Amino acid sequence: MRTKSIIKIFFLLIVPLIVTSCSRGEEPHYSMQEFHMGTIITEKVYGENAEKAAREAMDKIVGIEGLMSLDAEGSEIKKLNDNSGKSWVELSPETIYVLEKSKEFSDLSGGTFDITVGPLVKAWGISTDNQRIPGDDELKNLVSLTDYNDLLIDKSSNRAMLKREGQMVDLGGIAKGYAADCAIEIYKKHGIKSAIINLGGNVKVLGSKPDGTPWKIGIQNPRAPIGKIVGIVEVTDKTVVSSGDYQRYFIEDSVRYHHIIDPRTGRPADSGLMGVTVITDSSIDADALSTAAFVLGLEKGMELVESLDGVEAVFIDVDKKIYVTDGLKGKFIFEDESKEYEYVEER
Ligand code: AMP
Ligand code: MG
């Protein structure tokens, strides 16, 4: 917790001072970087109202965090969780929207995406000072508490309720996607034609780069420091969202315990994958889908993604083999400095 606070203070106080604006030789742009939603958020916005648009988008993200974080005092999700098994809670339309979207993707993914994993996420304590391996009985008990069907939503009155006491919603697998969608809408409102936002691996771009070429988004090497990639996708007006076992994890007795929980076992998903990247139009969709596909594994995850129009994906398995959906064949740029990965275009 202490380290997290120091990082947060660094990003809140120091980084805004070194924000770049209008570097020489480049299109006029405004960049900013802050720490919110448990991650580093970077914006690069081009054009006349760039600074205003970037600031407004960042403020919106702070607002979303305030509504949807698990622990923040006054957060709507905390209120929903605190009243589980007791009473209906009135929520803002945007929280209701994210809850509804979550349930839609739970249905679509056979329950592998399930925001009621909250108690399990807490029990594992991943990315806190209390990380631990819960016992079998504890996990069994918490798995029985995990069921998105127990999240009741009454859209007409903007109310929701968790049926059983102890149940908890955690929007960590979808809220960043929603935030990215909101940021892009704010850029558009300000007449921006070209921008990119990255919320810790959850990327969305508006238009193309100012010179008219597509944005090049690197796919993280899951076993190398941040920034080392295994490939590139070129995109215009799209989102590129990655989920993986390399994002929040701890290692004990050589076993990697990561943050994506399989709701059926209560344990970090052991699906044979190290990472999944989803490319599509909507970032909220991509966020839910990349988490779900990670839990489902290569075969079923690929099947799910291929069943959806306009959705592409890159899968990296534990044998360091990379697979892509049909729509990415011939387009995915395999670029592996480590020379450890193999790109398998035909399965
Ligand atoms: P992501 O990085 O988008 O794949 O989301 C992972 C985060 O979502 C975790 O840190 C948890 O907060 C939450 N989460 C973990 N497992 C699941 C799951 N099976 N379905 C939905 N959310 C999950
Ligand atoms: Mg996700």
Q: pTM of the full predicted structure? A: 0.93
Give CA 38 to chain center in angstroms.
Answer: 11
* Cα–Cα dist 43/300, whole Å: 34
Q: For residue 103, how far is its CA from the centre of ligand 1 (angstroms)?
A: 14
On the question of pLDDT at 12 being above 50, the answer is no
* Cα–Cα dist 226/309, whole Å: 31
Tokens 């999700």 -> residue: 77
Q: What percent of the chain has pLDDT over 70?
A: 93
> What is the per-residue pLDDT for 255?
86
Starting from the CA of residue 286, give the closest ligand.
2
According to DSSP, the residues that pair with 30 across neighbouring strands are 21, 45
pLDDT per residue as tens digits for the range 88-126:
999 999 999 999 999 999 999 999 999 999 999 999 998
On the question of pLDDT at 9 being above 70, the answer is no
Q: Could you tell which of 69, 117, 174 is best to mutate to test the pocket of ligand 1, judged by most ligand atoms within 8 Å of the CB?
A: 117
> What is the per-residue pLDDT for 149?
98
Q: What is the DSSP string of 260-320?
A: -B-TTTSSB--SSEEEEEEEES-HHHHHHHHHHHHHHHHHHHHHHHHTSTT-EEEEEETTS
Q: 29-62 burial, b if ≥16 CB within 10 A, otherwise e?
A: bbbbbbbbbbbbbbbbbbbeebbebbbbbbeebe
> What is the per-residue pLDDT for 25?
56
pLDDT per residue as tens digits for the range 173-225:
999 999 999 999 999 999 999 999 999 999 999 999 999 999 999 999 999 99
Q: Please, which pLDDT band fits residue 7 given cuts at 50, 70 and 90?
A: very low
Backbone angles phi, psi at 55, to 5 degrees: -65, -45
On the question of pLDDT at 273 being above 90, the answer is yes
3-state helix, strand, coil in the chain (%, to 5): 35, 25, 35
Backbone angles phi, psi at 331, to 5 degrees: -115, -35
User: CA geometry: angle at 175 spanning 172 and 180, to 5°?
Assistant: 135
> What is the per-residue pLDDT for 22?
44
Q: Say which residue, 18 or 333, is predicted with more confidence.
A: 333
Q: For residue 28, how far is its CA from the centre of ligand 2 (angstroms)?
A: 32
On the question of pLDDT at 23 being above 70, the answer is no
The dihedral formed by the CA atoms of 278, 312, 304 and 119, expressed in degrees to the nearest 10: 10
Residues with Cβ < 8 Å from 327, sequence gap 6 or more? 312
Lowest-pLDDT range, 11-25, 26-40, 164-178, 231-245?
11-25
Q: For residue 22, how far is its CA from the centre of ligand 2 (angstroms)?
A: 33
Q: Which residues line ligand 1 (CB under 6 A)?
A: 112-115, 117, 121, 170, 172-173, 243, 247-248, 259-261, 263, 287, 290-291, 295
> What is the per-residue pLDDT for 21?
44
On the question of pLDDT at 20 being above 90, the answer is no
